[in-house]
Structure 1
């Protein structure tokens, strides 16, 4: 692909902005589409619920060449994260490449690339690009449970919606709130509304493990898990030397048991009756699995009630007001029901034929390095390797795509890529019980995934940096020199430099 080849990017979140910046610097004309009126993806003001906070500190959650503002707190909130990404776009001159409040309705493959149907405030238009990057995020479309009784519930004054649609904790003042779910977003929003609501109930089908942000004595979860030593405590698909050594010395299980007991004590899970089944190793899924500061305090104070091992089976609307019925038959008042029930990965703008070529019979995405579909040309995915190092992973992934498009490296033969994908998906399903974001997550193995991409590009971290990462949390700036080498585009062809639109 030549430097005149036009790149269309769907999504202006972390991954989309990283691709726009890297590919622009590589000489490609770029245009970014996002249906939201602002950049940020999950951090957009259009879906930012109360209590939303970054799962990374400001020291690990930034791009390699754009640190977060010094006056940010250690753990930025949702508004600060959106402001950081908006500042990134402005700093690197991306504003003129953004088509915000513009939805890609359809993307059809054609001989020369892709024909796009886009909808903005002025109606429906057409545009084209030579290569399409899907960066709409692994949390693209909210999942809402189908519950009987919704009409009567709403008629009785009940409010029902996904957590991403709930904007203001003040709406809960002096009202009864039920939060469905037990992931990070459920803890976040429940803690936030519990300071205003008359009563807050969290209904959890299954209790899951959470990691405290801090353990005291200057130790936080990043020091324990965002290191190569921490990553080595989870069983990878191809165990490396350090993992085998941990097993030989019987340290992996012992250390995880000690950490699990520390988590239980730090979060007072035993006293509160909230010890999850299984082991702490179960956090090796698509979830960040971080505990919200203040949640257990509110449970202990009686401001949050957790109903474990059950679910909402019915919405009720009666003369006594809106309520919910649980699986055990009990009834809870519920003037507001917030569904923190996750998201699904959808690419509805792609044709059914393309979608079938991208996924298997279970709906898992078949992407080499979580980026490249084997059987669909002129298409890549960005940000579909979700991890606890999203910004760094997205930036390395953007350089991987740039290397692919400029011919700096050539991927393996299709049969080898398919074999790798088969093994990766089978292992991910077995390891997580199918909870691996439809193949769009690398879980706690962020560093391993980044290493693979850098190896493909022929770029290696300095030995001293790798050694330091064994005991110290990753610092994105340490990758700046590795990624700084220019991605030299292939010779330019006389293709038009601007996008076509009709």
Structure 2
């Protein structure tokens, strides 16, 4: 088939590599000038590092370089992806600096007409493809709130950007900065700019639990969370196996005690009580929608007074002070200088190059994506998704989803009838929405249940890992190399 992959991040590159191995003619289109998605030089914020350690945040056939630090920088991850492109000779399949403007089903709905525009050039002629893979990223389209008084702020010389748009420390040097949010990007940005900014104010509507990279400054968190045991501490939609049934049955007290002890270590290690930054609820809430590692030096800088955190606060409006300087007025009446406002306030999950009718066919009445296995839509033919299964093992999840797509295109996946799929997906999304209190990225966020989702796809493909390997993953961090033989095994099956 002639296949268009929209997006050149982890998911798009994995899709291109796998689909080419299965004999397809693949074109990867991305509006950025380089590969990487969120790791592109055009989009990564200053101070960006991985949340995963380098051992787990990698493709199965290409470990991160040995000389990389435990948590690689954004620049290093992008360089790693360039290496992946060269390893698999993908360079000729890439069309970078090329934005997909529109993708339309052909009149007979037997393929796609894709219209793209290269940066600085007019819109090109439509091109026919047999299949489209949507890999545009669920963290690629930042949300910037509609602030009252924004025009006043801008007239006074203030500026509002998303965290992904703050690509240089010089943009914050000597300025009074307000960072909105308390997730990974917000805390990363605050910690990075605080040493050079005139002041750094973090406005956090909700405090999130943060996990230390090293518990007690000793135990790497990967031994806790990047294992099947770590995932099993949180209740999945359906319990599988004796360990999970024990942990969420007779052993529930043990499970709760384990999570509470990690929470107690975090509170003590970061001195959260002294700083007045203990989040509400239980530490188990850390996995409600996403798992956030603590940013290096963030709490230390709060303690030193370089960063001020306004907990459970929001910006009510922007204004100017008596000297004509831009300020942010918080909902508790506090006023802070706001030369630069950085928003770490989440992302839109949408497919802008599809028309309204096609997008409506992808979503339920609440705007959630209805994707079987996070890959296959119910009502749009010749279309699959990649990377719409945000997880703790994004590269590995992307690879397995690409294998699932390859098998599906070969007719080698026994998918349920469409009505049964609708019911299964609707049930899954309802469960996700309830457990995350609506913070499930429109049905695309499977954290912390990465391995459950990978297992489900591999079961469909009859490619499960040996029982001994899976057993080892209960206590040791998952090593992507354990999955490196799967493409070959699938090719043997399909023939």
TM-score under structure 2 length normalisation: 0.96
Matches within 5 A, 1:380-391: 380-391=384-395
Shift of 1:259: 1.5
State the Cα RMSD in Å: 1.4
Residues 177-217 of structure 1: CA distance to partner in whole angstroms, max 9, x if unpaired?
11011110000000000010111000001111111111146
2:118 matched to 1:114?
A: no
Please give the alpha-carbon distance, in whole angstroms, between the structure 2 residues aligned to 1:431 and 1:288: 14
- The 8 Å contact of residues 408 and 487 in structure 1, kept in 2 or not, is answered as no
Matches within 5 A, 1:194-205: 194-205=194-205
Question: Partner of 2:122 in structure 1?
Answer: 123
Question: Partner of 1:43 in structure 2?
Answer: 39
Partner SS, residue 146 of structure 2 = coil
Structure 1 counterpart of 2:459, from 455, 459, 464? 455
Partner SS, residue 136 of structure 2 = coil
Matches within 5 A, 1:78-227: 78-110=74-106, 111=108, 112-121=110-119, 122-125=121-124, 126-216=126-216, 218-227=218-227
2:318 matched to 1:315?
A: yes
Question: Partner of 1:495 in structure 2?
Answer: none
Structure 2 counterpart of 1:405, from 398, 405, 409? 409
Partner SS, residue 160 of structure 1 = strand
Partner SS, residue 313 of structure 1 = strand
Question: Partner of 1:500 in structure 2?
Answer: none
Partner SS, residue 24 of structure 2 = coil
Flag the structure with more relative contact order, 1 or 2, with Cα contacts below 8 A and sequence separation at least 6: 1
Matches within 5 A, 1:337-376: 337-376=341-380
Please give the alpha-carbon distance, in whole angstroms, between the structure 2 residues aligned to 1:67 and 1:286: 28
Structure 1 stretches lacking a partner, 5+ long? 492-502
Please give the alpha-carbon distance, in whole angstroms, between the structure 2 residues aligned to 1:384 and 1:155: 39
Inter-CA distance 108–295: structure 2 relative to 1 (3 Å threshold):
same
Shift of 1:487: 2.5
Structure 1 counterpart of 2:434, from 403, 408, 430? 430
Structure 1 outlier segments of 4+, above 3 Å = 488-491
Please give the alpha-carbon distance, in whole angstroms, between the structure 2 residues aligned to 1:301 and 1:160: 26
What is the aligned length? 487
- The 8 Å contact of residues 315 and 328 in structure 2, kept in 1 or not, is answered as yes
Structure 1 counterpart of 2:305, from 302, 310, 319? 302
2:246 matched to 1:245?
A: yes
2:424 matched to 1:414?
A: no
2:70 matched to 1:68?
A: no
Shift of 1:490: 7.5
Shift of 1:291: 0.9
- The 8 Å contact of residues 191 and 295 in structure 1, kept in 2 or not, is answered as yes
Partner SS, residue 257 of structure 1 = helix
Shift of 1:436: 0.5
- The 8 Å contact of residues 210 and 283 in structure 1, kept in 2 or not, is answered as yes
Please give the alpha-carbon distance, in whole angstroms, between the structure 2 residues aligned to 1:167 and 1:357: 36
